[in-house]
Structure 1
Amino acid sequence: MNLPSSGSVARALVALYSALLLACTPLPRINPDLVHSPDARVQLDGAQGPLSEARSQAILDRLKASGLRTDIFDLHLAIEEALVGSPLTAGNKVDLLQDGPATYAAMFAAIDAARDHINMETYILEGDEVGQRFADKLIAKQRSGVQVNLIYDSVGTLGTSPAFFERLRQSGIRLVEFNPVNPMTAKAGWQLNQRDHRKLLIVDGRIAILGGVNISGVYSGGSVDSGRHPPRREDLPWRDTDLRIEGPVVADLQKLFIGTWDRQKGGELVARHYFPPLEHEGNAVVRAIGSAPEEPYSQIYATLISALHSAQSEIWLTSAYFVPDPQLLDALKAAAARGVDVRLVVPGSTDSWLVFHAGRASYSELLKAGVRLYQRRDALLHVKAGVIDGVWSTVGSTNLDWRSFLHNQEVNVVVLGVDFGERMRQAFLADVAGSEELTLKAWQRRPIRARISEGIGRVWAYWL
């Protein structure tokens, strides 16, 4: 029996993939030359409102006079502001949290200190030991007079017992099930493919914690390992990144939570001080970015593409689920072609076979373009983060895949500044140290079975 060549199999799968995409909603085309207009005004907000417009105008004047050959921080500041138009906020304190233990410790401390309200939004909330610990703390706070409001995704909690949520409800905690799997229980319309992938905790309107960590026992261990006796895939520690934020930007994250609550018909929130006066807490310039599938396009996607086009020295991205669309792929290759150091840390193991292989279908193209790829060893990568030019950083719930950009509710923050950028660079380099670099020569020797798996994954990339 004559088997088809790997090339013919791949071509047939790509043809099917292209035909299927004709019926799909496209991602927006971001033109970097039209990102900001000559009349744009960069505006920074602080604890007491807008800061000096003179500083904003000075940045734009320098950009106009010298084009892209200007201070890198000012370039990204102007691009970031002009893309969407909502003000950046100054005066924030941002702490980098790595892995579940650090993130859970920060969340528990914030919950324990709550005095007025707790707003929590998550994709996965399991009824295991970790989930029960969160439930116990939230119920205790509710009984003490702190109002707890919880949004959880219906698909993300399919394996969680209804009794778990009933216990929360009976304590007085207000619950919203996002886009219920059962359309008969949906209050705000029903969309099969739309999910709430955000992970966000806001306490007293003053502290926010967000990133990639769900509420599950798989995050109980850290990703630092001696390297001896590699564990089985199912026993791998999960590697993730979150942020703890204090300062004026917390109000913008609060608005995102309340917006979701309202759109899902959660009912009137119990009166609390959801927007207290916020003080200057640090020096970080931060912007909160939310995206939802009902919007014309993902602002997170548009912001990322713009930042990639603006990159001048480095693009370092860490992506747990990397399935790039054509525009994202082109932006990465174009950056490498103009001499930017483009590196990606990608999974070496995964909890999603289709996503894993769909992403690997783009590796040959990236490696040929000069992009450096590193596969994380001895940990299950779940990070969604990046740092560009050492001054533009992002952390959040958004994967670099079609689902995050088109079908999910997501939340990220962009942090502008050298100090935080250096922390992100060091975290990235630590992941690189725990990874194996892929070379084009070695990748081209992968077996036909792997190539077929990539083709299958690519066909389903849009829906994964």
Structure 2
Amino acid sequence: MSGPAATLPEAAGTPRLAELRVEDERGPLSARRAEAALRRLGRDASEQSLLAHHLAQVEGVVSSPLVLGNDAHLLVDGPKTQDAMFQAIAQAQHHIDLETYILEADGAGERLAELLEERRARGVEVRVLYDSVGSIATPAAYFDRLRAAGVAVCEFNPVNPLRLAGDTQLNINNRDHRKILVVDRQVAFTGGINISAVYSSGSFGRKVKTPDPKSGWRDTHVIVRGPVVSQFQNLFDEGWQGQRCQPAAPPREAVQDKAPGRAGAMAMRVVAADPASQRSELYVALLSAIDHASKRVWLTYGYFVPDERTLESLIAASRRGVDVRLALPGFSDFWAPFHAGRSHYDTLLEAGIRVFERRDALLHAKTAVIDGVWSSVGSTNLDWRSFVHNYEADVLVLDAGFAREMEALFARDEAASHEILAQEWKRRDVGKRFLEWLARRWEYFL
């Protein structure tokens, strides 16, 4: 098993920027305007080369076009993220669409329910799509309460053998791991943060001898405004329709007049993983960006179980002089992917890749920043489960200013982490080595 997309599309010769799909708030750009806009994204020749070759390589694989005229800001950890999300919900005038893997009833879940009830009472249309496995511990009474308030609630891929047997598109191993919130079709949120008590406190500045694996998780979300919000809306509607949720999503042409306007100068696109169509767009986009990097590849992932092709890209980048760094968890809520990821440390360290573990808080973020211009934030982990089995959503941001924000956050994680050194790692005990060997046997399912 080499991975979900062992061979990336070829981008032979000099990329023809004029042939790439580029849009703004008014629609598709002409070839001349698209080429001019893309050349402005890079500040120097190396950045322009990375973006040109990367965009050409993924053009035929990524379904959504690149969209100009957006703005985005990072939201670090649960409290700030949930405050921003709940503020947007409280101000909603027309529509609230929430898609999440975990939706707990207590804490943030109770606050969410109260806000949705209040907005629904004022005539706002509300839809909630939650994963059956991720939210399996949430009492049915919670969802009944939302339905009683007029909220349209839909369970993704129910854990029900009768329903699974009746639909070839449903597989109990395929889960909706996306975290998407769209409000009034004008603002969107995505990242790694669920509606859960583990985000009741932040992860930085805590001085604890023994970190609590059930609170203060380290995670990253992003708030987005601009025409790219329509891509989030379309992805939510596709998921809603795919699960035959009611009421049916409105046709796209019916909501064109409500499309978001220009909000900034950032170029973005939404990428998705959809096991039913055997696509993992972030996998292709991330490997392409790594393969064309010339300066820095800084990755932060809560679950790191790389396939052979990902390892090859990381190692090749390091050996050609790229500064490759990984911020990874120092402990986890699930032992198997944690130890499967660690089983690759010897290979990574030998290639000159620097590995940092957050041991003071459970790291759950899924972000990447490459060459100071290419960034991703979303729900996709660097593991087989995200690439092959789960429905995922991430946003790609091609902007130097946003990349600086990402690099500053990576630096904070690095400063709070323990760097794994080769000699230290070789001295780990036999018990850890056994767990790595055992977990490695099950990588495809992790």
TM-score range, shorter chain: over 0.9
Compared CA separation, residues 293 and 106, structure 1 to 2 (3 A)? same
Q: By how many angstroms is 1:298 displaced?
A: 1.0
Q: Aligned equivalents of 1:132 and 1:315: distance in 2? A: 39
Identify the residue that residue 277 of structure 1 maps to in structure 2. Answer: 259
Q: 1:356 to 1:55 in 2, by over 3 A?
A: same
- The alpha carbon displacement at 1:73 in A equals 3.7
Larger Cα-atom Rg = 1
Distance 1:175 1:376 in 2: 36
**What is the aligned partner in structure 2 of residue 216 from structure 1?**
196
Displacement of 1:270: 6.7
Query: Corresponding residue for 1:153?
Result: 131
- The answer to whether the aligner puts 1:75 opposite 2:54 as a matched pair is no
How far apart are the structure 2 equivalents of 1:58 and 1:48? 17
Share of identical aligned residues, percent? Answer: 43
Q: 1:247 — aligned with what?
A: 226
Please state if 1:27 is matched with 2:4.
yes
Which residue of 373, 384, 397 maps to 1:402?
A: 384
- Cα gap change, 1:76 to 1:420, in 2 (>3 Å): same
Change in CA separation of 1:50 and 1:81 when aligned onto 2, cut-off 3 Å: farther
Change (3 A) 1:421 1:220: same
Asked whether the 8 Å contact 1:176–1:266 carries over to 2, the reply is yes
> How far has the Cα of 1:168 moved from its partner?
0.9
List aligned pairs for 1:33-432, cutoff 5 A. Answer: 33-34=10-11, 41-57=19-35, 70-73=45-48, 75-80=50-55, 82-85=57-60, 86-185=64-163, 188-189=167-168, 190-227=170-207, 229-234=208-213, 237-269=216-248, 274-275=255-256, 276-432=258-414
Q: 1:300 deviation in Å?
A: 1.2
Over the residues paired in the alignment, what is the CA RMSD in angstroms? 2.2
**Structure 1 residue 337, shift from structure 2 partner:** 0.6
Deviations 1:94-122 (A, max 9, x none): 01100001100110111011011101000
- For 2:133 and 2:149, the matched residues in 1 are separated by 24
**Is residue 220–residue 365 contact of structure 2 (8 Å, CA) maintained in 1?**
yes
Amino acid corresponding to residue 149 of structure 1 in structure 2:
R
Question: CA-to-partner distance for each residue in 1:253-301, whole Å, 9 max, x for gaps?
Answer: 1100000111111134376975513211111111111111012331111
The one-letter amino acid of 2:158's match is: P
Give the CA deviation at 1:375: 0.6
Distance 1:297 1:46, change over 3 A: same
The whole-number CA distance in structure 1 between the counterparts of 2:269 and 2:399 is 12
Report the alpha carbon displacement of residue 381 of structure 1 after superposing the two structures with TM.
0.2
AA of the residue aligned to 2:55: E
Q: Which amino acid aligns with 2:183?
A: V
Give, in angstroms, the shift of residue 149 of structure 1. Answer: 0.6
Gapped regions of structure 1 (runs ≥ 5): 1-20, 63-68
- Runs of 5+ in structure 2 lacking a partner? none
How much does 1:130 deviate?
Answer: 1.5
Please tell me the residue identity of whatever aligns with 1:451.
R
Deviations 1:13-63 (A, max 9, x none): xxxxxxxx5xxx95112336447886661232111112342244468999x
- The DSSP-based 3-state class of the residue aligned with 1:139 is helix
444 and 391 in structure 1: CA distance in 2 versus 1, 3 angstrom threshold: same
- The equivalent of 1:3 in structure 2 is none
| SS across alignment from 1:455 | helix
Q: How far does the alpha carbon of each residue in 1:215-249 deviate from its partner, in whole angstroms, 9 at most, with x for none? A: 0111010111243x423433552000000001000
Name the SS of the counterpart of 1:233 in structure 2.
coil
What secondary structure is seen at the aligned counterpart in 1 of 2:268? strand
**Does 1:446 pair with 2:428?**
yes
User: What's the CA shift for 1:193?
Assistant: 0.6
- CA spacing shift, 1:26–1:328, aligned 2, 3 Å: closer
Contact 1:42 1:78 in 2 (8 A): no
| TM-score normalized with structure 2 length | 0.92
**SS of structure 1 residue aligned to 2:279:** coil
Q: Distance in 1 between matches of 2:242 and 2:143?
A: 21
Q: 2:262 & 2:191 partners in 1: Cα distance?
A: 23
Query: Contact (CA 8 Å) 2:190, 2:221: kept in 1 or not?
Result: yes
> Alpha carbons of 1:51 and 1:359: their partners in 2 closer, same or farther (altered >3 Å)?
same
Match of 1:5 in 2: none
The answer as to whether partners of 1:200 and 1:210 remain within 8 angstroms in 2 is yes
Distance 1:221 1:61, change over 3 A: closer
* 1:42 and 1:82 in contact (8 A); partners too: no
> Which residue type is aligned with residue 217 of structure 1?
A
TM-score (norm 1): 0.89
Secondary structure in 2 matching 1:195: coil
Deviation at 1:363, TM superposition (A): 0.5
Report if aligned partners of 2:213, 2:362 keep a CA contact under 8 Å in 1: no
How many residues were matched structurally? 434
